[in-house]
Chain A
Amino acid sequence: MATREFAAHESHAHAAPQSFIRKWVFSLDHKVIGLQYYFLALSAVFVGMFLSLLMRIHLIWPALALPLVGEIKPETYLSLLTMHGTIMVFFVLTTAPQGGFGNYFLPIQIGAADMAFPVLNMLSFWVTFLGYLVILAAFFVTGGAPLHGWTGYPPLSALPSAGPGEGLGADLWAISIGLFCLGALMSALNFITTTLDMRAKGMTLMRMPLTCWAWFVTAILGLLAFGVLLSAAILLLLDRNAGTSFYVPLVIVNGIVAAHKGGSPLLWQHLFWFFGHPEVYIAILPAMGLCSQLVSVFSRKPIFGYKAMVYAILSIGLLGFMVWGHHMFMSGMSPYTAFAFSIMTMAIGVPSAIKTFNWLGTMWGGKIRFSSPMLFAIGFVSLFVSGGISGPFLAQPVLDIPLHETYFVIGHFHLIMGVASIFGIFAATYYWFPKMFGRMMNETLARTHFWFSLVGTYLIFMPMHYYGMAAGLRRYSQSTEVAYMHNLLPLQKFITYAAFVTIAGQFVFLFNLFWSMKFGKKAVDNPWEATTLEWTTATPPPHDNFGGHTPVVYNGPYEYSVPGAPRDYVMQTDTTVVAAH
């Protein structure tokens, strides 16, 4: 009882700030912080995309000198791919879905006035932002950006003498990651506390939209995983700067014996992948939650198997911590351990499959509206299937022998993370833009963007599987030295041309985003006729989200086409039609 009053109290507790600094810079409002994260990620994705463009050009024209950039040396190529991976994984995929949309919409969807700890929320953004500045700085220091890949395996990442960019650039990389971990831990604390403690009356856990479940479990994964990455980064910084040998055994670089001994490169791999595997689920779960949401809204049907979807999210989260060794089958770890990890990895494919069946089951018998959010949700399902199917190949150690470190792996994780998860971000943008900015995005431009992206990304990443099966290795700055790889150059050319077209299509999105903020058609409060709490409030939502009152929830989040109801959707707050669920 006291909780309800407390919630009511909170909705009045803070008056909206007035000054520009308090309103837009050091804001405590989760909606503003969410937008700050979103625009950080937007900037990062264009940086990351530009880096990949340079990579693709270099792969097919290694000797080409580009304007401004000049000729791309092999070490530069490796720096490009390192920074591309790091920036995309951390500052885009771990930022936009959770920090961006999660921050903005979790409190609203559960009926809260803000996050549990607004000051911590603000801090978590600025720490993340600082991390972003630090990693960008790596490009501009002596030696340039590191070349050790986003996975940063020592000894390569621990020895400044191992390559250009492995000096200050590698230190900045590790520091940036450390800062990101701090920001992520703070954010996870907020999400978990908010979900557990601030749900409105009637919003039981099993009435939460699947987006909230996804953000919640993602936060738990983050809480448990980012501490491990932080430890790994600290040990790396110590090896690099304090002469310790956590990771570095006795090594001889260019004939010079380094001042290290006794360390284990595999220690980094274990720590990194213990974080790294949950990390990829952190990158995909919010998109899965959103896909469930969108497929339901735009098929005008309840989600098929809500409980199963919740259990699937929970199992993916739990199992996600038990499979990290599948990144290490070839690393020198015990083959018995590899077997254990591979069984767990196959197991984690099961809840993902269940989710796919349920999305299809939701569309079955539906009344599908092809608004732009739905297009991207359908695209998401297709891409998730494609990317997911290559997983069981890599999960079998014996098949990993020919496929590990080839483009097959790149195709796999790009389809899942680099496209499906990005489609989730696009879908979220098209879906929630009206609520955030009070205007609709242009549908024609949205559809153009969709087709460019769907077809373009398939044309880029499907051929990578063929290249990988033919033993085409990743992280090769050029294929000129290995005869069998050089024969595969036509595939690389095709991929690069597809990339040109796809990248061009992304500018349609960028234009649409900013143009619509100013000139888009004015939006009504509930343009998609959806049932969840964000659509009950004003557009954009007021400072305390619900304009002075706390919502009371009577229904589940997916009551569409309820027989006997006056409209084909029943809001969660609707008292007149209390559906059977």
Chain B
Amino acid sequence: MASFTPTVSIADPRTSLGGNRGAPPTGSRGGGDGNDGARYFHSRLRRARLGMAVGIIGIVMIFVSFTSAYVVRQGMPSFDPRTNSLVHDWLAVPLPRLLLINTFVLLLSSAAMELARRQTARQVALAQAAAIPGVSLGEEKQIPWLALTAMLGTIFLTGQWLVWRELAARGFYVATSASSSFVYLLTGMHGVHLLGGIVALLIGCAASLLRRPLVSQYVVQDVTGWYWHFMAILWVYILCLLEFVH
């Protein structure tokens, strides 16, 4: 896994603030972390990433099942009782060009997500430095990359909806043929998962607006980022499956 550690190690005892490493922090309550969040940043991040990786594996199995159903159905002849013989009835659906534009939008949103994450990582690193007495840093301009990602994601979903409309206009509905069923199924399931990602992004935006602790924000953005990139990779995979696997 690529390392996205900030340049200053937060959990390094030499930079850790407060100084009492062993004793339990007083007055800590559930939720708000203050310094404790910063102190345990690496552990929290590792745990969140582990959870996200495990979750992604679970989602992968769903699409593995769909893939195997797709591949087998393509190659499978069906029995035509009229002729008492097996016929191959797979007719690939010609995919609208709009799908390529949507793909571009999604990849763009991945870039925005990455920028959002790195921006927050930098903020986290700088926050430590800024807390040292006597150090003063200028206010950095914060670009709303996270909101932009959510917006691009929404544009993607809208584009997918328009693709469905175009398919319907051309006479390809969910039940029209085996191949059209799979087009709707795969794009739909991906869309549902992407929507979940957009919800996570909106939560991230809200956390930012509500000025939640920076390290918490970072952990959320980091795992959302992994999820979001996975959604992009998954989408490219689905597109290739639909386009190239005959």
When A and B assemble into the complex, do they touch directly, with CB atoms less than 8 Å apart? Answer: yes
Do residues B178 and A245 form an inter-chain contact, with CB atoms below 8 A? yes
Nearest CB on A from B8, distance (A): 15
Nearest CB on A from B207, distance (A): 15
Q: Mark B44-55, 1 if CB is under 8 A from A, else 0.
A: 101100110011
Stretch from A142-150, A236-244, A435-443 at the B interface: A236-244
Residue of A117, A196, A230, A270 near B62 (CB, 8 A) is A230
Do residues A267 and B73 form an inter-chain contact, with CB atoms below 8 A? yes
Nearest CB on B from A575, distance (A): 18
A226 contacts partner chain B, Cβ-Cβ < 8 Å? yes
Given contacts A189-B55, A193-B54, A271-B69, A5 and B78 within 8 Å (CB-CB) = no
B30 contacts partner chain A, Cβ-Cβ < 8 Å? yes
Q: Which residues of B contact A230 (CB under 8 A)?
A: 62
Q: Mark A492-512, 1 if CB is under 8 A from B, else 0.
A: 000000000000000000000
Residue of A nearest to B44 (CB): A6
Do residues B178 and A238 form an inter-chain contact, with CB atoms below 8 A? no
Do residues B69 and A117 form an inter-chain contact, with CB atoms below 8 A? no
Residue of B31, B58, B72 near A189 (CB, 8 A) is B58
- Assembly CA distance A120 to B55 (angstroms): 12
Residue of B nearest to A261 (CB): B78
Do residues B76 and A264 form an inter-chain contact, with CB atoms below 8 A? yes
Q: Which residues of A contact B28 (CB under 8 A)?
A: 9, 12-13
Nearest CB on A from B236, distance (A): 20
Residue of B54, B64, B174, B175 near A223 (CB, 8 A) is B54
Q: Which residues of B contact A242 (CB under 8 A)?
A: 174-175
Q: Which residues of B contact A238 (CB under 8 A)?
A: 174, 181, 185
Residue of B nearest to A229 (CB): B65
Residue of A6, A244, A249, A263 near B174 (CB, 8 A) is A244
Q: Which residues of B contact A232 (CB under 8 A)?
A: 65
A188 contacts partner chain B, Cβ-Cβ < 8 Å? yes
Q: Which residues of chain B (199-242) have a CB below 8 Å from chain A?
A: none
B42 contacts partner chain A, Cβ-Cβ < 8 Å? yes
- Assembly CA distance A238 to B181 (angstroms): 9
Residue of A193, A261, A263, A270 near B47 (CB, 8 A) is A193
Do residues B50 and A226 form an inter-chain contact, with CB atoms below 8 A? no
Chain A interface residue bracket vs B: 35 or more
- Assembly CA distance A196 to B54 (angstroms): 11
Q: Which residues of A contact B21 (CB under 8 A)?
A: 5
Q: Mark A223-262, 1 if CB is under 8 A from B, else 0.
A: 1111110111011001000111110011000000000011
Nearest CB on B from A234, distance (A): 8
Q: Which residues of A contact B80 (CB under 8 A)?
A: 250
Q: Which residues of chain B (159-189) have a CB below 8 Å from chain A?
A: 174-175, 178, 181, 185, 189
Do residues B76 and A197 form an inter-chain contact, with CB atoms below 8 A? no
Do residues B174 and A243 form an inter-chain contact, with CB atoms below 8 A? yes
Given contacts A14-B29, A15-B30, A197-B50, A188 and B58 within 8 Å (CB-CB) = yes
Q: Which residues of chain A (182-206) have a CB below 8 Å from chain B?
A: 185, 188-190, 192-193, 196-198
Q: Which residues of B contact A234 (CB under 8 A)?
A: 185, 189
Nearest CB on B from A408, distance (A): 31
Q: Mark B79-91, 1 if CB is under 8 A from A, else 0.
A: 1110000000100
Q: Mark A169-183, 1 if CB is under 8 A from B, else 0.
A: 000000000000000
Q: Which residues of A contact B64 (CB under 8 A)?
A: 227-228
- Assembly CA distance A372 to B153 (angstroms): 58
Q: Which residues of A contact B29 (CB under 8 A)?
A: 14-15
Do residues A12 and B25 form an inter-chain contact, with CB atoms below 8 A? yes
Q: Which residues of chain B (117-168) have a CB below 8 Å from chain A?
A: none
- Assembly CA distance A21 to B208 (angstroms): 29
Residue of B40, B60, B65 near A9 (CB, 8 A) is B40
Nearest CB on A from B11, distance (A): 5
Interface of chain A: mostly helix, strand, loop or mixed? helix
B245 contacts partner chain A, Cβ-Cβ < 8 Å? no
A483 contacts partner chain B, Cβ-Cβ < 8 Å? no
Given contacts A14-B30, A271-B69, A6 and B43 within 8 Å (CB-CB) = yes
Nearest CB on A from B21, distance (A): 6
Do residues A2 and B40 form an inter-chain contact, with CB atoms below 8 A? yes
Q: Which residues of chain A (1-48) have a CB below 8 Å from chain B?
A: 2-3, 5-6, 8-9, 11-15
Given contacts A192-B54, A193-B47, A250-B78, A12 and B24 within 8 Å (CB-CB) = yes
Do residues A227 and B24 form an inter-chain contact, with CB atoms below 8 A? no
Residue of A12, A189, A246 near B181 (CB, 8 A) is A246
Do residues A227 and B11 form an inter-chain contact, with CB atoms below 8 A? no
Residue of B nearest to A260 (CB): B175
- Assembly CA distance A183 to B71 (angstroms): 29
Do residues B61 and A224 form an inter-chain contact, with CB atoms below 8 A? yes
Do residues B30 and A13 form an inter-chain contact, with CB atoms below 8 A? yes
Q: Which residues of A contact B98 (CB under 8 A)?
A: none
Residue of A nearest to B72 (CB): A267
Do residues B81 and A246 form an inter-chain contact, with CB atoms below 8 A? no
A116 contacts partner chain B, Cβ-Cβ < 8 Å? yes
Do residues A224 and B57 form an inter-chain contact, with CB atoms below 8 A? yes
Of the candidates A2, A117, A189, A225, the one having the most CB atoms from chain B within 10 angstroms of its own CB is A2
Residue of A nearest to B30 (CB): A14
- Assembly CA distance A198 to B48 (angstroms): 12
A388 contacts partner chain B, Cβ-Cβ < 8 Å? no
* Residues on A facing B (Cβ under 8 Å): 2-3, 5-6, 8-9, 11-15, 116-117, 120, 185, 188-190, 192-193, 196-198, 223-228, 230-232, 234-235, 238, 242-246, 249-250, 261-264, 267, 270-271, 274, 548
In the complex, given contacts A250-B78, A271-B65, what are 12 additional A-B residue pairs having Cβ atoms less than 8 angstroms apart?
Answer: A2-B43, A8-B24, A9-B36, A14-B30, A226-B61, A227-B64, A228-B65, A238-B185, A243-B175, A262-B89, A262-B178, A274-B65
Q: What are the nearest 8 A-B pairs in CB distance?
A: A243-B175, A227-B61, A14-B30, A231-B65, A6-B43, A227-B62, A262-B78, A244-B181
19 residue pairs A–B, Cβ–Cβ below 8 Å: A2-B39, A2-B42, A3-B43, A9-B28, A116-B51, A193-B47, A197-B46, A227-B61, A227-B64, A228-B61, A234-B189, A238-B185, A246-B178, A250-B78, A250-B81, A262-B178, A263-B73, A267-B69, A270-B68
